A and B are shown apart, each in its own frame.
Chain A
Amino acid sequence: AQKITQTQPGMFVQEKEAVTLDCTYDTSDQSYGLFWYKQPSSGEMIFLIYQGSYDEQNATEGRYSLNFQKARKSANLVISASQLGDSAMYFCAMREGNTGGFKTIFGAGTRLFVKA
């Protein structure tokens, strides 16, 4: 069955350092999309970055990059130069392909704490 796994319930990082949030996925589709969303304490969901299954280069958006390793089915989020405002929940998500009805499912999330 298609699923998303985030094995780090919580992570700490020092301000200005880089941090990697892990995500692995399982799908039988050849075509799928991978996303990361941020949820601050206010509760809103904020889109961060997208990676397509056929994209050969890793996606980057400002301080966010996605380390995509297709053979290992992993899509880790790297945040460079962490800021206090990065403290939040981070969710990995996958939009499934035709087999999965093109629906989007989420992982359990990782809570990131940025220390001053």
Chain B
Amino acid sequence: NAGVTQTPKFRILKIGQSMTLQCAQDMNHNYMYWYRQDPGMGLKLIYYSVGAGITDKGEVPNGYNVSRSTTEDFPLRLELAAPSQTSVYFCASSPSPGQGKLDEKLFFGSGTQLSVL
């Protein structure tokens, strides 16, 4: 059981380049999330998805795009990389709320360290 898998682990981009951060989970979770964590700071929600075909903006969506064509995959796209996007990116997943309970914790990937120079 792999859990949440993120690739790549590290990447350096030049300003203006594009890239896709991959995220896959094998737990059949409906909810998937992308967070970014700047050095010494908390996690900011970029986008999230409640199921295949459904995505929604989080706290800091500008400069990013997502898609959710399958339950398993939730890629994050950076179209025109900027230095302000230098950060660690975490993908996470969780089950849907069950019977009004919200006790389902997040399962995290190991993160992608992205530098834009």
Q: Tell me if B102 and A31 are in contact (CB < 8 A).
A: yes
Q: Tell me if B100 and A31 are in contact (CB < 8 A).
A: yes
Q: Tell me if B88 and A47 are in contact (CB < 8 A).
A: no
Cβ contact of B105, chosen from A32, A35, A107, cutoff 8 A: A35
Q: Tell me if A91 and B58 are in contact (CB < 8 A).
A: no
Q: Tell me if A32 and B102 are in contact (CB < 8 A).
A: yes
Q: Tell me if A91 and B31 are in contact (CB < 8 A).
A: no
Residue B27 is within 8 A (CB to CB) of chain A in the complex: no
Residue B116 is within 8 A (CB to CB) of chain A in the complex: no
User: How many CB-defined contacts (below 8 Å) exist between A and B?
Assistant: 69
Residue of A nearest to B56 (CB): A101
Which residues of A sit under 8 angstroms from B101, Cβ to Cβ?
33, 52
Residue B94 is within 8 A (CB to CB) of chain A in the complex: yes
CA distance A31 to B90 in the complex (A): 26
Interface residues on B, range: 20 to 34
Given A43-B88, A44-B110, verify A102-B42 contact (CB < 8 Å). Answer: no
Interfacial residues of chain A within 1-55, with CB under 8 A of chain B in the complex: 6, 31-33, 35, 37, 43-45, 47, 50, 52-53
Of A44, A103, A107, the most chain B CB neighbours within 10 A belong to A103
Contact with A along B7-48 (1 / 0, CB 8 A): 000000000000000000000000101010000111111001
Q: Tell me if A109 and B41 are in contact (CB < 8 A).
A: yes
Using a CB–CB distance below 8 Å, which chain A residues touch chain B?
6, 31-33, 35, 37, 43-45, 47, 50, 52-53, 91, 93, 95, 97, 101-109, 111
- Ordered by A's residue number, 13 sampled pairs between the chains whose C-beta atoms are within 8 Å are A6-B42, A33-B103, A43-B88, A43-B110, A52-B103, A93-B106, A103-B45, A103-B56, A104-B106, A105-B58, A106-B35, A109-B41, A111-B40
